[in-house]
Chain A
Amino acid sequence: MKNNLLKNAIWLLIAILGASAVGGIALNRGESINALWFITAALCVYAIAYRFYAAWIAATVLAVDQTRATPAERLDNGRDFVPTNKWIVFGHHFAAIAGPGPLVGPTLAAQFGYLPGTLWLLFGSVLGGCVQDMVILFLSTRRNAKSLGQMARDELGPLGGTAALIGTFSIMIILIAVLGLVVVNAMKHSPWATSTVAATIPIAMIVGIYMRHFRPGQVLEASALGVTLLLLSVAGGGWIDGSETLRGLFDHAGLTLAWWVMAYGFAAAILPVWLLLAPRDYLSTFMKLGTITLLAVAIVVLQPDVKMPAITQFIDGSGPVFGGKLFPFVFITIACGAVSGFHALVSSGTTPKLLTNERDIRMIGYGGMVLESFVAVMAMIAATVLDPGVFFAINSPAGVVGKEAAAAVATISSWGFPVSVEQMQALAGKMGEASLFARTGGAPSLAVGMASIFGSAFGDGLLALWYHFAIMFEAIFILTTLDAGTRVGRFMLQDMLGNIWPKMAETSWAPSVILTSALVVGGWGYFLYIGVIDPNGGVNILWPLFGIANQMLAAIALCVATGILIKSGKFRYAWVTGLPLSWLIIITSTASWQKITSDDTRIGFFAAANNLSDKLAAGTLPPEKAAIAPQLIFNLHLDAYLTLFFVALLWTIVFDMLRVCALHLAGKPIRPLTEVPHSPSQLAAEWVRD
């Protein structure tokens, strides 16, 4: 009794602390606010949500059953189905879900000020993203680790299944294109960044050969070697940058780099996994975990001040980083970190094969997403510790603020965010770059933010090294997502074409491998190409498209979850997934509607296309813009139809789910639940005996 009282008192304290921290960051209107407030608010919100909401969902809504054998136990084959320690599963799950998304999205959304993005990260994750990941993990565990697409087909019908498959494939294409664009913008005319990123490829190959042939299976040895080489390559890049003869080799325009990224993606999709993909993934995972830990420590030690205002005037839709009002675009820009449909693909199919006991579903599904959301909050801090003027100078495309440095600083200063050419030049010099103007995509500004945090915490003299370390860190796991994604896309395409001509499905038949890889690379390569030649930066168009696709996939996952909850007779709990689903439907549909119909040329695809064709017809475009205008016009039309397609796909699956639920509630026959019957867990019994 006394113990209980103490526990309640502690949780009450956490609740009060959390509420004051959230209130503090929401109501602060001073010059700056300490980043520790963000960390406190985040930790309290996560702790309370995990302790109460997640526990209630696990116990009451899902009714996890720790006496029930999981697929890992029943189908244990010592290979892919293996009952694994929960911390190990957590590590694998987190490494799989956390990519570059939670770093880029918050950085871009910082143009609205720190507040909207932070609140959406905190509450979107605990009420939406974490719930989605946990429920899908649970449902897949109860269905022998089936994938999201299979569950959609089995539980809703062929329509839902097909929609999930097409949704997955399209988001993959858009995701890779936008990530490729982020890397290209980080390497543009930067010999240091380009040579460091280029060096990661031979380094990965050395590691791959080491653990395949030289010392088979010695994963840690090989990784330690690789990480050392990576750190040396960051320093080596500085040396190349200083050498007059060598730096020319790595000093390229965006378009050249884009072609190289495409060539790389194609090579990675057809080369054996052990040579490039697997070793690169080891390196990127180690770098990712190490750097994120370092960033957390640095923020807590240094306690930097956030200088961005809570809310900027750009909530009216006039922002330079991307066009569109606060609602719905903050919810589209920040997908990963708040709710990300992509996670449903890992939570189904991959992670359930390792799960030893159902009681760990809360920690792995909900807890894993909580940690990703925390990473996103740190990215938000790193972006907002910069002077707002500097932030906008780095992230505003030349097409919006002007090509010349003087024009850009004049425009940005006129918004009330003072910045000067000298300040930008001094900063670029410190970071070892020629210029930091119009380096859109989020990676450079995040790297500047991280470098200044690391620099103040661990020594200011090494800013250029920290900056390029941060760029390398972002680039290496962006490229990992890029090559893993291209490969998955290739397999999916081979599978789909196999339905027409079975020979295409043979994953080792060279003509099929080359054709499908080329098609996938061609798909994202096209969007990357357009993004690079677009004077407005490309990110402006591609990132919202990616956000819409990712939220659409989340909506598909939540449709499957809600449908299954209702079919299992849990109608009164269906709001747990139904509420986030409704919110996603609202924001995705609103954003798509605006993207298609808005008269604002910075938001509406058709408006921008018409505006450009009018100018082209009137002959008012300068010659270099007139040359690419037809391509841009075509692309804007394509993007509009693609958005229309996404939203149609979303509504198809929503209606399919509602149809199934209505039939069930009316007592009419529907597809039966495909849950595997209960069989008692031996492992749980053994543990009880121990």
Chain B
Amino acid sequence: MIRRFKSFWQIVRRLSGDDAYERYLEHFARHHQADPEHVHCQPLSKKEFFKQWQEEKWRGVKRCC
């Protein structure tokens, strides 16, 4: 029961974008820090990331009739 609730909660977080920053950090660790050329790169701060993420999300047709 608790496990089900947890996975449901995860879906809600994922759908709403609540965990977007965590996923960005994971993506960053996988793709940037593994690469020796980019090892000195720092990920964006949560506030900065969220700003860019929101701008990105609202480009193009996102809502219909």
Interface of A toward B, CB cutoff 8 Å: 76, 78-80, 82, 84-85, 87-88, 91-92, 96-101, 147, 175, 179, 211-212, 216-220, 223, 273-274, 277-278, 281-282, 335-336, 340, 342-343, 345-346, 349-350, 480-481, 484-485, 487-488, 491, 546, 550
Contacts and interface: CB of A to CB of B under 8 A. Distances in A.
A219 B46 contact: no
Nearest to A223: B16
A84 B23 CA distance: 11
Contacts of B28: 78
B18 A346 contact: no
Contacts of B55: 273
Interface of B: 11-18, 20-21, 23-24, 27-28, 31, 46-47, 49-65
Contact of A80 (B11, B12, B56, B61): B56
Contacts, number: 105
Contacts of A345: 61, 64
Contacts of A147: 60
A217 B65 contact: no
A97 B50 CA distance: 24
Given A217-B49, A218-B18, A484 B62 contact: yes
B60 A274 contact: no
Nearest to A148: B61
A656 to B, nearest CB: 23
A78 B31 contact: yes
A64 B50 CA distance: 35
Task: Tell me if A's interface is mostly helix, strand, loop or mixed.
Answer: helix
Task: Tell me if B's interface is mostly helix, strand, loop or mixed.
Answer: helix
Contacts of A342: 64-65
8 contacts: A78-B23, A212-B50, A220-B18, A273-B54, A273-B55, A278-B57, A336-B64, A342-B64
A485 B63 contact: yes
Residue with the greatest number of chain A CB neighbours at <10 A, chosen from B14, B15, B21, B24? B15
Nearest to A90: B15
A556 B10 CA distance: 39
Given A91-B15, A336-B65, A340-B65, A349 B46 contact: no
B54 to A, nearest CB: 5
Residue with the greatest number of chain A CB neighbours at <10 A, chosen from B50, B52, B56? B50
A96 B58 contact: no
A223 to B, nearest CB: 7
A85 B7 CA distance: 13
Nearest to B48: A216
Contacts of B50: 211-212, 216-217
A277 B23 CA distance: 24
Nearest to B45: A216
